[in-house]
């Protein structure tokens, strides 16, 4: 890695933990965090930070020049449930920010780009079980439409201009360190807080809604692994399927009950149910496993134990 790393959207759910991991790997001063607002204390105190709107191309360019940035991780996005409430705002943020970074890479201002896609690129007509890498994609949400469009542009900029852009279709990400950011899979984080505080949770998804999920540490690992892989190993330049676990709210509740026997769950599906119903229930990520040796570390019970321990510690500290 010649220059430094810039993370745009560093204060989000994934961005926060990714920033800290990259600082740990490459050195605090080599990883510049930026977001439209300040982040948590650990992120702010551990290295350089710039307030920046991801859609403000001249400002982003100034930061790239100031720090001699060679790699950009563009993590800023409006997520699924939030985007449905503000469609054009979501489209503008999700697309304009990507065009700016792809153009900087095309103009050789930066060398490498990471941009996250999502299982939201799939739609109701996509095969739901073991969804293949290449398949029907007819997304029915604003977020999914923007991510599918972004995938096409990433591939186009790679094929036409040689831009080294790499991407993952993240499943639902589970973490106790940062609060959920308005996604359809957020129930799988909220449930742990409620299990420990109230021994009860009302899920906004139906009990049998299966979705692909992943513990945050595995998502960060996959992101670092794909960026560290030699360029010739990256065969997919739209976005790679990525998977670890798939489960329903009922199955997750049963896993929590092994640790908290008197925990109770009930169900009251809201508008997010329709979004979840349009997504796959499990993902085939064999191409990522073959091309750059992706493998996950956390199974269901180890995820549940980590989450309960982490949230429990947070609740103690908050008292």
Task: List the alpha helices (DSSP H) in 198-248.
Answer: 216-228
Which member of 67, 73, 143, 176 is catalytic?
143
DSSP string, 2-36: -SEEEEETTTSHHHHHHHHHHHHHH-GGGEEEEES
Name the DSSP class of 119: G
End-to-end CA distance of the chain: 43
267 by DSSP, 3-state: which?
strand
Could you give the CA distance from residue 178 to residue 216 in angstroms, rounded to a whole number? 10
Sign of CA dihedral 302, 18, 89, 95: negative
**CB 233, CB 193: distance < 8 Å:** no
Cβ within 8 Å of residue 257, ≥6 positions away: 263
Tokens of 65: 């020049």
Among this protein's residues, is 215 annotated catalytic? no
Q: Which residues are catalytic?
A: 143
């Amino acid at each position: 890695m010649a220059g430094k790393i810039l993370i745009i959207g560093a204060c989000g759910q994934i961005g926060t933990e990714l920033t800290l991991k990259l600082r740990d790997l490459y050195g605090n001063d080599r990883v510049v965090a930026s977001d439209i607002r300040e982040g948590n204390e650990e992120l702010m105190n551990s290295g350089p930070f710039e307030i920046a709107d991801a859609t403000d191309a001249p400002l982003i360019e100034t930061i790239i020049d100031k720090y001699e940035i060679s790699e950009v991780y563009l993590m800023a996005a409006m997520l699924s449930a939030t985007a449905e409430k503000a469609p054009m705002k979501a489209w503008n943020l999700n697309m304009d920010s990507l065009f700016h970074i792809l153009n900087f890479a095309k103009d050789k201002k930066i060398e490498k780009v990471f941009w996250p896609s999502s299982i939201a690129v799939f739609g109701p007509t996509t095969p739901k079980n073991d969804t293949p890498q290449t398949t029907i994609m007819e997304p029915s949400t604003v977020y999914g439409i923007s991510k599918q469009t972004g995938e096409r542009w990433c591939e186009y900029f790679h094929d036409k201009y040689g831009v080294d852009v790499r991407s993952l279709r993240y499943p639902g990400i589970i973490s106790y360190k940062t609060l959920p950011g308005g996604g359809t899979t957020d129930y799988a984080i909220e449930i742990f807080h409620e299990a420990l505080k109230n021994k009860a949770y009302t899920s906004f998804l139906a009990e049998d809604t299966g979705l692909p999920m992943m513990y945050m540490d595995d998502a960060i690992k996959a992101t670092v692994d794909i960026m560290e892989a030699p360029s010739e190993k990256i065969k997919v330049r739209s976005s790679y399927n990525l998977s670890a676990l798939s489960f329903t709210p009922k199955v997750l509740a049963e896993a929590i009950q092994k640790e908290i026997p008197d925990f109770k769950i009930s169900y009251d599906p809201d508008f997010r149910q329709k979004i979840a119903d349009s997504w796959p229930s499990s993902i085939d990520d064999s191409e990522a496993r073959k091309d750059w040796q992706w493998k996950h570390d956390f199974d269901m019970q180890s995820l549940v134990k980590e989450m309960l321990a982490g949230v429990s510690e947070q609740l103690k500290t908050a008292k």
